[in-house]
Structures are given as structure tokens and as C-alpha cells.
Structure 1
Amino acid sequence: MKGVFVAALGLLVPTNALLRFGCAKSSIQRLDPLVNPGQSPSPHLHQIIGGNSFNISMDPATHDLVKQSTCTSCQFTEDLVDTDHSFHSSNYWTAVLYFKAKNGTFKRVPQRAQQGIESTQGGMMVYYMSDALFDQAQKSKVTAFKPGFRMLVGNVNYNNREEARNFRQLTYICMQNEGTREPETINFPDKPCPAGIMANHRFPTCWDGVNVDSPNHQDHVAYPESGTFESGGPCPKTHPVRLPQILLETVWDTKAFNNKADWPSDGSQPFVWSSGDSTGYSSHADYLFGWKDDSLQKHLDGHTYVSAPTLKTQSIAQQNKCTVKDMVGEDYDSWLKALPGNVMVR
């Protein structure tokens, strides 16, 4: 996975190679407007970045999506749409990582900002790319997402390697230092990771060209017919439109939990997703598109990456101020006797 290694290590990629930006954490709570719209609380806990329009229900037809958003926790302010003086912004979210102690209690693992955005409160690094990761020119044509576009990658119910193969490149990196980007595994690391565990979520990159969503939030998109986006694999005829590759990197700061004396006595690894998965195979992420007008398409067409002169930026202090109000009101951060929502570990 040479291409993945080169580009995921954004600090070593030439500044014209891809669009890469940091997003501060905007909220941690048990809501999922994509999979469980209108349900509060949702079955398991999520960490959320992006616009403060994130809500219990985000049905585009009801305009719940736009009526309250005034900011984004991401670096680029164009990742925020103004529609008749109402705003909505892209949102990205994943499950939350917990440490399970020998006595059966749970502690949330904090998110850690990567080098270059150290002052950002947790959050993620987000990538949009139009070509193979190892191709610094990034000259291929991709079609930016359309208004209302949303998708889900991964499956919360998966718990074995064969199931996980249905989704390409949902991986983990056991970071030895800030620059570690290999090897990648599809299950949780089985040893302490000195610089934390990086979770990577790469979304499908082929679209049917018609639907901005589907009942399971997955059927309107697909992976390349062969290979991966990075290897230049062609899109299937059913999904002929090539989309940008979205990659989310979240670094979970596991340093406080690296004493193996605190790990299970049977030698198994101690981390579990807030969904109850202790294998890592259920890794999943959600995306709601919200870029302003055609700003993303213009940027992708311009091939001016990372430095992004066509895009307006905001300071990290401004990003950190953009938060989503707590709509659930539960303790997710203390030592807990059970995962939030009493989710069972499996």
C-alpha cells in the first residue's frame, strides 16, 4: 500500500498533492441522523466534526439540515453552505473508542490532533483527492458531491475478517511515532501503540450519477470494479461517475492505556468501539455533503492542493469555538460500568 503510506503521511507530501485539512471535534453524543433519524438517543455514541447544524434529524426535505448552522469546525469555511441566509455544513462522524479495564469498567479514549494542527480539539484530518495517492499531479477529473449527498461506509454489525473485506481500506495503524503510517490492519492492534491508534475511513469513489442517497446510504455508491481508487481502478457501469476519495484519519490517544498490566489477563487487546465491537471489524463512518456552491468542484478542477489558494480558511481558535449543543445529556467521559446506551461488548 505504498500510495496510502505516502499520502496519508500528509506532512511529507508535496504541497500540491491533495486537499488535506484539520477539523476540530464539534460534539460527542449519542445521535446519528443518517442511520437513526429522529431517534434520541441513538444506539451508540459518535464523535462528530463539521457544522453546528448537526441535529437529531437531518432530512433535507424538511430543511432541518440548514436552519441552525452558523459555523464549521473544519479549516475551510467553504465547507459551509449559505442557502437563503441559512447555513449547513458538511458533517463527518464515527463511533467512539473506549478502553475496557480488567474490572469491566470503561473509559473513553480521547482524540489527539495530528502534527500541524496540535491546538485543534481532537477531531480528524480530512482528505479529498482526485487521483491516485502516489500521483503528485492529481490531474484526473472527478465530480464533486451534489447538494443533499450523503453516504455511509462500513457495517456496525461486522465482527470478522471476511465480513470486513466487503469494505476496502477501513484500517488501523499502530503509531510508533507521529510519522508512522504502516502497516495497516483491518482489526484492532494487539499490542500497545506508543503514539496512539489511527483509524482510517476511506469512502467509496463511484456514484450512480442520479441518487444523492439510498435507503441503506450505500447502494448509490460503489468501489472501483477492480483495485482501488488509489490504484486507478475503473468504476463499474452501474456507478460510472468518479467521485473524490474522502479519507478520514482519527488518532485515538491510547498512551494512558498502554500498560499491559491493565490489559485483559487472557492477553486480548482492551479497546472496544462504542458500538460494542471489540474486534475492530465494524469500523464505520458517515458523511453529509455541505460545501458552498461549486467551491469544491473548482478546487478539484484547479489541482491546487493542500495550500488551497481558492478556499477561505479560518483559525484553529475559530474552529474550536464551533460546537454542537448536547441534546442527549449523558455521561460518556467518566469511568463507566457499561458503554453508553448499555451496549453489550461482543
Structure 2
Amino acid sequence: MGRNDRKRRTPMATKAIAASAALALGGAGLLWAQMNASAHESNSSGQNQTKAAAAQVATIACPDVGQQLTNVPQKARQGVATELANLDKQITEAYARLASTRQAQANDASFVQNAIVGPLKEKRAATIDRIRIDIQRVGGSVNAAALKQLAACTTQTATNTTTAGGQNNNGGQNNGGQNNGNTAAPSASASAPAANNGGQAGNGPTAADFVDITKVANNVQAKPQKQAQASTGSFTTRCGVNANKNHNTDNVIVAPGVTNGAHHEHDYVGNQKVNAFSTNDSLLAAPSSCQNQSDLSAYYWPVVRVQDGSQEFDANALGGGKEGNVGKILTPQSAQIKYVGSPASKVVAMPQFLRIITGDAKTLTNGLANANAHWSCTGFENKVQLTEQYPICPQGSNVVRTFAFQSCWDGVNVDSANHRTHVAFADPASGVCGNGFKAIPQLTMRLVYKITPPTIQADGTVKNAYAVDGFPEQLHKASTDHDDFISVTKNNLAATIANCINTGKKC
């Protein structure tokens, strides 16, 4: 049986909930746009403005298979990861086809089902069956019938494309993003209601994805009170801001050995040789951007872009412009990486090669249960944190992305089949790790960006829009922000970090 930790979305706090199934069914998912081509325009003042033509939006609901596989034998994980990457590729290709066949959809109401959704199901069914074979070949068990059900993708109308609420029901299974039975294919007629899907590449962000932070009510909750055994110290590692522009679209944690497994660009600091083909040995042998050369850890996150019409180096590449990630890549003004303690107990040192992903790059598929995005502005961080919208900051204030990683570890595994169940969030009220998990130093990151404040025009367009890179079908929603980490240290640094935190020092 697997353990699936779900996160209740509260500002800077999280909660782990145990799931009762090794293979749970859930999902909703892929958004697509039948749209006219969006255009980048310049107004009379010369400022950049992103304008999208009218678009009809519908949803193809495709269950996120990877998050449901919580009990994959170690010997099968590489093969399963490769097939999961194939599923992602199939979805992005289907999204591209949906976006490029506007006229055919307008002429034939059955085009989407017959030419896109049906073939996608067939491809997914074959890939999912290979996952079953990979698991069973090494002696693992799987509910073949339940797994087979994950192949089907259905369509929804534009009214059902909002981010799911992420409520936890039925023993911890996430039903917040499920289809809820509304699977009727949308009409593709020219008279169908239009919706503005925004963004230069036609897949976001939209005006609704931004909010004036000065008009948002305070929502930051108080931190748990420190108990007698609290570990009150902190350890800061200085690794730069990726000024050397070390980017790639791989993700060695979720898609090892697969080029462009992330389908979006990452910034990398710390370990400088991280790609799809990295191994533990190669990470240990790589150079580091950190001042402390004993810190070879990999810290990486999706880039932020301003959609100003710039032709970046990846404008015609997969993971970049070919998959809807467009505009100028911004380098953070500052990137603070700090390890902090537990309000409830001492911490144990992180194990070598521990892998943690925080947040969820597919919240439009999975709902908000695992979302851990925190957007704010300098001067507002202690008052307002946003998950589902990007902030419009007042003049003189900068955009801030903050991450607080899972701080509880199962004491055994450095990774898990779905890359979540070996770590968990502490209880947000008490700070206690549940279910026998141990407190580890909590990795926190604070990224600051200087961005000209976006403005919403009278016609609904966004001038100076910015967004985080992501899977194209996820529409660049703020809630899809996420962060990745692999702990790699030398010279007993992991123990040094834990000791500094446990003794209340600031290192």
C-alpha cells in the first residue's frame, strides 16, 4: 500500500493526509483552445501589449497517471518513468493539434472526438499497458482494470475549465479536479460563445490570472508556536541567480533519460551539470555555483517570462516557443536559499541524494491538492500570498516567488514512485510530522523579480503580462508553479546544516 500526501492549501503552511490506495483513480485535465491566432501588438507609446483574439476553450480530461502510481517496484521505475514521459508528450502533441485545427473544428462538430480525442485514447491505452507490463515483469502487482480506465480522455465546455478546488474526500483521495460527469463534447460551430484564452501563444495567461495585490485581503496565517524541543536555527547557502543562463527543459527526477521531459525551461543553481542523463555519481563530480563548494545540490525551478514579443534562444524549440513558452526569460534579482528548523522537534540530516518536488506543474489536471505556489510582492509578503493568481505589484515593489518544501521524511527512501510519498508536510497547526516521519531541515526559497506591473486594458488584454513556464495545456496558471531539489553534499555538510539548525545558530 502506498502513502499519498495531500496538501491543504494554506499560505506558507501545508498538511499531509494519508491515502488508502496504491492506485487511485482521479483526474481531469488537458485544456485546449480553438482559437484565432493571437497577436503581439505595440501601442502608440511603444510599450508592449499582449492581445489574444476571441477563443473558444474546452477541456480534455486526461487522468494524471504518474500521481496515481504509488507502489511501483524499484526495478520497474525507469521503464515506468519513460512511459509516463511518453504520456506527457502525447498530451502536448494533442494540445498542439487542437490549437492548429480551428477551421476543421468549426466545420465538423465531431472532429475533436474523431481526430484528436479518440486517437489520443488509443495511444494512451498502449502506453499505459506497457506500464502494466513493466510493473508485472518484475513481480509487482497492479489493478489492470483500474489502470486501463486511465486511458480515456473526455471533453468539457469552457464553463468547466476553472482550476479545481483540491478538496480531499473519501479517505484522502483528491476529488477536487475530477470530471464530475460533464463530458459532453462542446459545439465547434462558429456561433459558439467565445472566451479570451490570452497570451501570445494562445494558451495564457489571461486578465483573470492577475490581481492588484493592494486589493487583496490579508491571508497569511500565523506560524505554529515553537515547542520546547524546537530547532530554531537556520543555514543559508549562496548559490547565485543563474546569471550564467544555465537552462534546459529536462527533469531528471520525473523523466530520467528523457530529453525535454519537462516541456518547459528551468533555471539551475547549485549543481551545474543537471540534465536528463545525470546520475548520482555525475552530480557528485560536477561543479557548483554555490559559494560553499561542499554544496553540490541541484536547485531548479521553471523560469518566469515577460511576454513582450522577445525572441528568446528557445523561440523555435521544444520546451520553448514550440510549446507555448514565449517571451523574455527573466533572471531573478535575488535568490535566497535557506534551510530552517521545525517548531516541534530537532531535525535529522537530509540523506544523500534525497529528491523533493514541491508544488504541482499540473494543477489544471490534478486540482490544488498538491499546489504549493506562493506569489507576492515586496512589502506584502507577511500579509498576502497568492496561489491562483499573479500579483500586480505597486510601483517600487517587486514580484516574489516563495517555496517552502516538505519538511518530513519517511526515514528510508530518497525518492518514491510518484516522487511524493517519501516526504510530507508537517501539520500546519502544530508543526509535527505524522505517521512516523522524521523532521528534516526545511528547504525554503525566495526569488525576487523586477517586473513592470502588468495593466489590464479596457478590451481585456494584459499589457506587460508575465507568467511561469509550464506544460502548454496548463495555460501558464500561477498555481502550476513548482520547485525541484536533489540533495548532494560533500565533507559532512548535511550533518553541519542539521547541527546548525538544532543548536539555534544562524549559519
| Structure 1 and Structure 2 fold alike (TM over 0.5) | yes
Distance of 1:127 and 1:156 partners within structure 2? 23
Corresponding residue for residue 330 of structure 1: none
Corresponding residue for residue 284 of structure 2: 66
SS at match of 1:54: coil
Q: Percent of aligned pairs with the same residue?
A: 19
Contact 1:109-1:252 within 8 A present in 2 as well = no
Please point out which of 249, 252, 263 is paired with 2:446: 249
Distance of 2:269 and 2:222 partners within structure 1? 25
Corresponding residue for residue 125 of structure 1: 336
Change in 2 beyond 3 A, CA 1:220/1:204? same
Corresponding residue for residue 274 of structure 1: 469
Please point out which of 486, 492, 499 is paired with 1:288: 486
Change in 2 beyond 3 A, CA 1:294/1:30? same
Measure how far apart 1:59 and its partner are.
3.2
Change in 2 beyond 3 A, CA 1:252/1:214? same
Change in 2 beyond 3 A, CA 1:305/1:57? farther
Residue 94 (str. 1) matches residue 313 (str. 2): no
Change in 2 beyond 3 A, CA 1:141/1:279? same
Contact 2:297-2:485 within 8 A present in 1 as well = yes
Q: Deviations over 1:241-276 (max 9, x none)?
A: 111111111112213xx2527x69415683222114
Contact 1:49-1:73 within 8 A present in 2 as well = yes
Q: Which moved more, 1:286-295 or 1:179-188?
A: 179-188
Measure how far apart 1:100 and its partner are.
2.9
Contact 2:375-2:391 within 8 A present in 1 as well = no
Distance of 2:325 and 2:423 partners within structure 1? 39
SS at match of 2:480: coil
Contact 2:402-2:446 within 8 A present in 1 as well = yes
Change in 2 beyond 3 A, CA 1:147/1:107? same
Corresponding residue for residue 432 of structure 2: 234
Distance of 1:28 and 1:264 partners within structure 2? 37
Corresponding residue for residue 260 of structure 1: 455
Contact 1:34-1:58 within 8 A present in 2 as well = no
Change in 2 beyond 3 A, CA 1:54/1:264? farther
Change in 2 beyond 3 A, CA 1:64/1:109? closer
Measure how far apart 1:107 and its partner are.
1.9
Residue 208 (str. 1) matches residue 403 (str. 2): no
Corresponding residue for residue 182 of structure 1: 383
Corresponding residue for residue 373 of structure 2: 170
Contact 1:100-1:106 within 8 A present in 2 as well = yes
Please point out which of 132, 135, 146 is paired with 2:351: 146
Measure how far apart 1:97 and its partner are.
1.2
Residue 157 (str. 1) matches residue 362 (str. 2): yes
- 1:254 partner amino acid: I
Change in 2 beyond 3 A, CA 1:188/1:76? farther
- 1:33 partner amino acid: V
Contact 1:37-1:56 within 8 A present in 2 as well = yes
Measure how far apart 1:56 and its partner are.
2.7
Please point out which of 75, 89, 104 is paired with 2:291: 75
Corresponding residue for residue 300 of structure 1: 498
Please point out which of 257, 262, 274 is paired with 1:38: 257
Q: Deviations over 1:185-224 (max 9, x none)?
A: 1123342454321111111111111111112211111112
Distance of 1:267 and 1:173 partners within structure 2? 22
Distance of 1:301 and 1:185 partners within structure 2? 33
Distance of 1:180 and 1:240 partners within structure 2? 30
Distance of 1:296 and 1:141 partners within structure 2? 14
Measure how far apart 1:288 and its partner are.
0.5
Distance of 2:264 and 2:458 partners within structure 1? 23
Residue 52 (str. 1) matches residue 257 (str. 2): no
SS at match of 1:159: helix
For structure 2, the 5+ residue unaligned runs are 1-10, 14-219, 224-231, 311-323
Corresponding residue for residue 328 of structure 2: 108
SS at match of 2:495: helix
- Which one scores higher on RCO, CA 8 angstroms, separation ≥ 6? 1
Please point out which of 196, 212, 235 is paired with 1:19: 235
Corresponding residue for residue 83 of structure 1: none
Contact 2:248-2:275 within 8 A present in 1 as well = no
Contact 1:96-1:274 within 8 A present in 2 as well = yes
Q: TM-score, normalised by structure 2?
A: 0.46
Contact 2:408-2:424 within 8 A present in 1 as well = yes
Please point out which of 221, 238, 242 is paired with 2:423: 221
Question: How many corresponding residue pairs?
Answer: 259
SS at match of 1:128: strand
SS at match of 1:66: helix
Identify, as 1 or 2, the structure richer in helix: 2
Distance of 1:102 and 1:53 partners within structure 2? 30
Change in 2 beyond 3 A, CA 1:299/1:222? closer
Cα RMSD after superposing both structures: 3.3
Contact 1:109-1:253 within 8 A present in 2 as well = no
